[in-house]
């Protein structure tokens, strides 16, 4: 990971570091047993000011995972509550037309671009909810899927599962190696590493999801993983190898969004034209750029370390692409060379 951060700044140094690491064969990660992660009881995530209740699944990723039969879909996101039982109750209670036809697809994501969300043609995804009576309890039916809340908040709704905080995983390591091999930086077998990365990612999230006691957990089978790796755009193709490795790394970083952000800054993928297509953010027809770094805090003049802090900020400001000042979120960190 440290080596790839240098890709745009110093590719020769990146290659040297990568080859040095790979030369130490006896100390390389080889499976999920080598993952570096923190695990905690459910109570660790209790309290705080983050409420997963309102977190909706993103349409671009849900659609891609659904169409490719990605086994991680049900581990990442929960089905909406339009089960056949609730659907029939809604019809019986007059909340749906008698002629309504059941849609078996229950993984439905939210539009990610503001203009798409505001489009009247898409308004029903956000405004059309229904309440029904289920055994004396009022239940709200919502078209949209939510994230698997216990994957991030195991204590949610009385959960007693385990919280998993990945730091460095074998899946990430394998997919980075696949990317470097596909780019010709190394001479390793990109396809083998790619398949190992995808397979271990699915296996890991299956383990995490079960331990977190997610909603409606159904274990992933080896046959599902085998079938997924044969799907169009998923089956490794040398001509698309780099893009495939990056897309799979992005999906794998579901519990590490900071690394997904870094991957996008480094590679420019996923984007609107990649296998996993992420639409541009538009508001009132205007493309909205994505932030590339956090705001840098201006040092307080009352700080005992003021001079050193100011010198550090001033030094960063001389870097290429730093932006309009410390508060410019569209400026770049040092390795994110324009």
State residue 34's pLDDT score: 98
Q: E-assigned strands of the chain?
A: 36-41, 129-134, 137-142, 162-168, 282-283, 286-287
Q: Residue written as tokens 């309890």? A: 137
Task: Provide the residue ranges of all domains of the chain, joining segments of one domain with +.
Answer: 4-55+149-283, 79-142, 291-338
pTM of this structure: 0.94
> CB–CB of 291/322 below 8 Å?
no
> CB–CB of 78/146 below 8 Å?
yes
Q: E-assigned strands of 151-292?
A: 162-168, 282-283, 286-287
Q: How many CA atoms lie within 13 A of 211 on its CB side?
A: 15
Query: CA angle at residue 108 from 269 to 140, to 5 degrees?
Result: 140
State residue 51's pLDDT score: 79
| DSSP assigned state of 336 | -
State residue 129's pLDDT score: 84
Q: In order along the chain (338 residues), what is the average pLDDT of each group of 10 residues? A: 96 98 97 97 83 90 98 98 95 94 96 93 82 93 95 93 97 99 98 99 99 97 99 98 99 98 98 97 96 92 96 92 93 93
For 29-56, the pLDDT digits (tens) are: 999 999 999 999 999 988 777 778 889 9
Q: What is the CATH number of domain 4-55+149-283?
A: 1.20.120.840
């Amino acid at each position: 990971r440290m080596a790839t951060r240098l890709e745009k700044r110093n590719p020769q140094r990146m290659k040297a570091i990568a080859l040095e690491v790979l030369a130490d064969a006896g100390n390389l990660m080889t499976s999920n047993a080598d993952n570096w992660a923190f695990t905690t009881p459910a109570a660790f995530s209790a309290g705080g000011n983050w409420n997963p209740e309102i977190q909706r699944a993103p349409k671009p990723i849900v659609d891609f995972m659904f169409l490719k039969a990605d086994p991680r879909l049900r581990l990442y996101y929960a089905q909406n509550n339009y089960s056949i039982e609730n659907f029939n109750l809604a019809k019986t209670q007059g909340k749906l037309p008698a002629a309504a036809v059941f849609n078996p697809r229950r993984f439905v994501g939210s539009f990610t671009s503001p203009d798409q969300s505001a489009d009247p043609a898409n308004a029903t995804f956000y405004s059309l909810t229904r309440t029904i009576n289920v055994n004396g309890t009022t239940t709200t039916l919502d078209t949209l899927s939510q994230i698997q809340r216990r994957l991030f908040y195991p204590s949610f709704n009385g959960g007693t599962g385990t919280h998993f905080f990945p730091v460095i995983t074998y899946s990430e390591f394998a997919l980075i190696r696949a990317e470097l091999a596909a780019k010709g930086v190394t001479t390793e077998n990109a396809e083998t590493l790619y398949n190992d990365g995808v397979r271990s990612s699915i296996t890991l999230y299956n383990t995490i999801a079960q331990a977190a006691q997610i909603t409606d957990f159904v274990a992933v089978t080896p046959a599902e993983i085998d079938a997924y790796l044969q799907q169009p755009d998923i089956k490794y193709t040398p001509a698309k190898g780099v893009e495939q490795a990056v897309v799979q790394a992005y999906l794998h970083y579901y519990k590490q969004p900071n690394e997904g952000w870094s991957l996008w800054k480094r590679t420019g993928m996923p984007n609107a034209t990649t296998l996993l297509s992420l639409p541009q953010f538009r508001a009132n027809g205007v493309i909205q750029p994505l932030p590339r770094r956090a705001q840098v805090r201006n040092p307080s003049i009352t700080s005992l370390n003021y001079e050193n802090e100011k010198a550090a900020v001033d030094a960063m400001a001389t870097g290429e692409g730093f932006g309009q000042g410390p508060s410019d979120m569209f400026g770049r960190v040092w390795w994110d060379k324009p």
